[in-house]
Structure 1
Amino acid sequence: MTGFPDYPFTSRWFAHPRRDGLRQHYLDEGAGQPVLFLHGNPSWSYLWRRPILALRDEFRCVAPDHIGMGLSDKPGAGRYPYDLAARVDDLDALTDHLVGDAGAPEQGWTLVLHDWGGPIGMAWACRHPDRVARLVLLNTAAFPNPHGERVRPLLRLPYRVLRDTRLGTRLFLRHNLFARGATWRPLGVRRRMPAPVRSAFLAPYDRPEHRVAIQRFVQDIPLRPGDPSWRLLQATGASLGQFADRPTLIAWGTDDPVFDRAVLDEWRRRFPAARIRVYPGAGHYLLEDAHADLVPAIRSFLLAL
């Protein structure tokens, strides 16, 4: 797959030795202090195209696609765990490769996190706190849901359908409803996506067997003790205080129906010194709705430190 709008990057792949050689696609653009971009579900590294283009003249920009997502290999459910711990292990292996074999520094990493990138990135950061220099948090979380065990209204039906009925396989694998919905107003964006951009977001998920990770990410949402990823999420949230002294930029689209103001308030409580930029009228994909202001803000934040 080629020709994605504003994605003029060199594709790279890392073969995971502990995953039977499964290949993880990633971008590694520019030179300088490393900036690690971690996407969520159902996006991929295409989400980061504008920040990478704006930063690669000064920074080394690394943006992996999680296994099963984007241009990475898409194994069946029996070949890959598809849980939070596996994602963190994958990130560990990739960054160790970059540090050990590709000249990346051990320290001075900036994490830029969106959606599931928050739990994955911050759980990784808890393993390597000395590596992390700065944080940029975009409509994400890395702690238990401040609403408790209740799924937010937008996810309530998909969550139940995916977990409990065969209808989930039909809607989310056969018809790609979750990924398509994320590109529509008002579910994922508030401004209409241009058709070529929407096609680029959906391109990696072109047939049912390429959509397993989308389904499994929703199934893995940890809401209560006993959920497979609950302990790791809870431990990550309990350890976030060690990063409260890191320079942090929090940018938030206020029209996100899942990562709402209660999640933003929880970040404020945990990181009281963080710089906050709020974008009224921007949705979950705030880099699509608010990029004209947000991308320069990220660049200014990184260059000022």
Structure 2
Amino acid sequence: MVTAEAGRAPALTPSARSVTLERLLPGYPAPRYWRRVPATGQHYLDLGAGDPVLFLHGNPSWSYAWRKLLHGLSPHARCLAPDLPGFGLSRHLRPACGVPDPYQAQLDHLDGLYRHLVEDGQAPQQGWTLVLHDWGGPLGIAWALRHPGIVARLVICNTMAFPWPAAYRLPFYLRWIRDHSILAGVVHLTNAFARTAVHAGVHHPLRAAERRAYLRPHARRADRRAITDAVRAIPRDTSDPVWRLLEPSSPGTGLSSLPMLIGWGMRDPVFTPVLLEEWIRRYPHAVIRRFPDAGHFVMEDASGELAGHIRDFLQGPP
């Protein structure tokens, strides 16, 4: 069995290992594409060659969510898909007490991943594309603002990176988990948030084996703390300090000049069309692709179309 601690299959013959992996993680890239950052133990996938494209997943998913896009785009670019610390096959963040600041911790790990890829992985220092989903959105945008000049393009998929618009209302179940420690404890104990997401997050149902693959790294209670912490860290209002991470450090270092593609699942119960309209208002130059029959996991429901749009976007002018 693949575990979050080991990050690999049991000792088997190559053919048996391949069959076992496909059964446990259907569609996931083979272990020859698996890597770890030596300094942190962060797990990531590395497929293809060319300009780097960094895929940042959200909560409660992991790099498994990108598998279809990775297969479609790796012939055209170097696709890098980390498991954020605490998710998937990466080592788990262990806060000393209370609710941590996961944003700063994740940004520090992104710094470590970038240094490793540039210094040891022969990746270029500039010309990166970020593909961002859910919680990966504010992390990726904050990281891009933290390091002006590295990111050349942005692909936005059902996420946010600005204070909630006045017309938006966070779903009640997320507010309840965020604001009530007892309920958060129950959700952590039962893994209810992740179990619900693999059903409610798609319009076209996943196969049972795919749902199990999403949940597998977080089967043990000790390995799902980051899921609950991420919900409890959802910003409440404009005074939340996380928004300061999403402000340009100085004039001229914002994102308005970067080419941007927005691929949006219109059936998302959390990242609703209200948030898409705010993206459009803030970045009127963005290329918009709406997917009427896609839910929160737009990379699942509209993988073929989305991969084609991203491929064309990557091959367009910078």
TM-score (norm 2): 0.86
Are the aligned partners of 2:248 and 2:254 in contact in 1 as well (CA < 8 Å)?
Answer: no
Secondary structure of the structure 1 residue equivalent to 2:254: helix
Provide the rounded CA distance (Å) in 2 between the counterparts of 1:302 and 1:262: 27
| One-letter code aligned to 1:289 | D
The change in CA–CA distance for 1:75 and 1:285 in structure 2 (over 3 A counts) is same
Q: 2:279 aligns with which of 267, 272, 279?
A: 267
Are the aligned partners of 1:118 and 1:137 in contact in 2 as well (CA < 8 Å)?
Answer: yes
| Other-structure match for 2:15 | none
Q: How many residues align?
A: 293
| One-letter code aligned to 1:159 | R
| Other-structure match for 1:166 | 182
Matched, 1:157 2:178: no
| Other-structure match for 1:217 | 230
Return 5+ residue gaps in structure 2 as ranges. 3-8, 10-20
Identity of aligned residues (%): 47
TM-score (norm 1): 0.89
Are the aligned partners of 1:32 and 1:58 in contact in 2 as well (CA < 8 Å)?
Answer: yes
| Other-structure match for 1:190 | 203
- CA offset at residue 238 of structure 1? 9.9
| One-letter code aligned to 2:118 | V
Are the aligned partners of 1:143 and 1:236 in contact in 2 as well (CA < 8 Å)?
Answer: no
Matched, 1:35 2:53: yes
| One-letter code aligned to 1:207 | R
Provide the rounded CA distance (Å) in 2 between the counterparts of 1:228 and 1:273: 28
1:240-294 Cα shifts (integer Å, max 9, x gaps): 9832222211010111111111211111112111111001121100111111311
Provide the rounded CA distance (Å) in 1 between the counterparts of 2:189 and 2:178: 13
| Other-structure match for 1:231 | 244
| Other-structure match for 1:288 | 300
Are the aligned partners of 2:178 and 2:233 in contact in 1 as well (CA < 8 Å)?
Answer: no
| One-letter code aligned to 1:102 | G
Provide the rounded CA distance (Å) in 1 between the counterparts of 2:180 and 2:157: 30
1:7-63 Cα shifts (integer Å, max 9, x gaps): 1232111144xxxxx421111111110001000100100111111111222211111
- CA offset at residue 174 of structure 1? 1.5
Return 5+ residue gaps in structure 1 as ranges. 17-21
Provide the rounded CA distance (Å) in 2 between the counterparts of 1:240 and 1:139: 26
Matched, 1:248 2:260: yes
The change in CA–CA distance for 1:93 and 1:183 in structure 2 (over 3 A counts) is same
The alignment yields a C-alpha RMSD, in angstroms, of 2.2
Provide the rounded CA distance (Å) in 1 between the counterparts of 2:211 and 2:312: 28
Secondary structure of the structure 1 residue equivalent to 2:149: helix
Provide the rounded CA distance (Å) in 1 between the counterparts of 2:277 and 2:62: 27
Q: 1:78 aligns with which of 96, 121, 131?
A: 96
- CA offset at residue 230 of structure 1? 4.0
Secondary structure of the structure 2 residue equivalent to 1:183: helix
Q: How does 1:104-115 map to 2 (within 5 A)?
A: 104-115=123-134
- CA offset at residue 193 of structure 1? 0.7
Are the aligned partners of 1:65 and 1:72 in contact in 2 as well (CA < 8 Å)?
Answer: yes
Are the aligned partners of 1:111 and 1:135 in contact in 2 as well (CA < 8 Å)?
Answer: yes
Provide the rounded CA distance (Å) in 2 between the counterparts of 1:232 and 1:240: 16
Provide the rounded CA distance (Å) in 1 between the counterparts of 2:34 and 2:190: 28
Secondary structure of the structure 2 residue equivalent to 1:23: coil
Q: 1:68 aligns with which of 65, 86, 89?
A: 86
| Other-structure match for 1:8 | 29
Q: 1:180 aligns with which of 161, 173, 195?
A: 195
Provide the rounded CA distance (Å) in 2 between the counterparts of 1:215 and 1:94: 24
Secondary structure of the structure 2 residue equivalent to 1:73: coil
| One-letter code aligned to 1:258 | V
| Other-structure match for 1:133 | 152
